[in-house]
C-alpha cells in the first residue's frame, strides 16, 4: 500500500498555539485555503488515488472532503484509531507547556496518551490498513502526532515526537508492507 498521510488544515487552536488533541475543532478559513492549495497541487502532480480516509475529528474530515471533491475520489472511510494523541488535561493549554513532557519517553499521567501507547496504536492501525488496501494508493487526512508516529516506526533513531515539525496541510508518503514502513517523500507547501 502507498499511503499519503496529510495533516489537516489549520484551526484556530493551531493558529493560537494551543494543544488540540481530541478537542474537535473545525478548520479556520486559512486552513480551508491550505487544503484547497494542496488539492490543486495534488491534482497537477499526483491526481490518481483509490480511496481517501480521515480520522473522526471534524478538522480531518473537512480537509478530506475538500480533497475528495477536488480529486473526484468517491470512496471515503473513517479510521478513528488514527486520531490525534489524547493530551488529557493539557488540551486547550499553550503548546509550550506540553513540549517538555512529550520529550520524556516515560512520561505518564492520567488522561494523557503516552508515547508508547500512541506509537503502538498508530502502527497497528496503519498495518491493518496495509492489509485491507494492499496494492492501493490511499490518501489519509490525520494529525501531527499520527504522522510523527509513522516516521518513528520507519526510523526511531532519526525521528522523535520532538525533533520534526509537521506543518498543516503537509503530506508524507509511505509504502507499508505488513509491518515494514518505507518513507518515500514529503510535500510541504507552507
Q: What is the pLDDT of residues 39-73, one digit of tens each?
A: 999 999 999 999 999 999 999 999 999 999 999 99
Range of the domain at 145: 2-187
Domains in the chain: how many in total? 1
Query: Which positions are annotated as active-site residues?
Result: 8, 84
CA dihedral 141, 147, 151, 157 (to 10 degrees): 180
* Secondary element (H or E) of residue 122: helix 115-132
Q: What is the pTM of this model?
A: 0.97
pLDDT in tens, 103-133: 888 899 999 999 999 999 999 999 999 999 9
CATH number at residue 116: 3.40.50.1240
Amino acid at each position: 500500500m502507498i499511503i499519503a498521510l496529510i495533516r489537516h488544515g489549520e484551526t484556530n487552536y493551531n493558529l493560537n498555539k494551543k494543544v488540540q488533541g481530541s478537542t474537535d475543532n473545525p478548520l479556520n478559513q486559512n486552513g480551508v485555503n491550505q487544503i484547497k492549495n494542496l488539492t490543486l497541487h495534488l491534482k497537477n502532480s499526483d491526481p490518481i488515488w483509490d480511496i481517501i480516509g480521515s480520522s473522526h475529528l471534524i478538522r480531518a474530515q473537512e480537509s478530506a472532503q475538500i480533497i475528495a471533491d477536488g480529486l473526484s475520489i468517491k470512496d471515503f472511510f473513517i479510521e478513528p484509531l488514527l486520531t490525534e494523541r489524547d493530551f488529557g488535561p493539557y488540551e486547550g493549554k499553550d503548546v509550550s507547556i506540553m513540549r517538555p513532557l512529550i520529550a520524556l519517553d516515560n512520561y505518564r499521567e492520567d488522561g494523557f496518551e503516552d508515547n508508547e501507547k500512541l506509537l503502538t496504536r498508530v502502527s497497528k492501525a496503519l498495518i491493518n490498513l496495509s492489509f485491507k488496501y494492499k496494492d492501493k494508493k490511499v490518501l489519509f487526512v490525520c494529525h501531527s502526532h499520527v504522522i510523527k508516529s509513522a516516521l518513528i516506526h520507519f526510523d526511531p533513531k532519526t525521528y522523535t515526537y520532538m525533533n520534526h515539525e509537521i506543518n498543516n496541510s503537509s503530506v508524507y508518503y509511505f509504502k507499508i508492507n505488513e509491518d515494514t514502513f518505507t518513507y518515500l517523500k514529503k510535500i510541504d507547501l507552507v
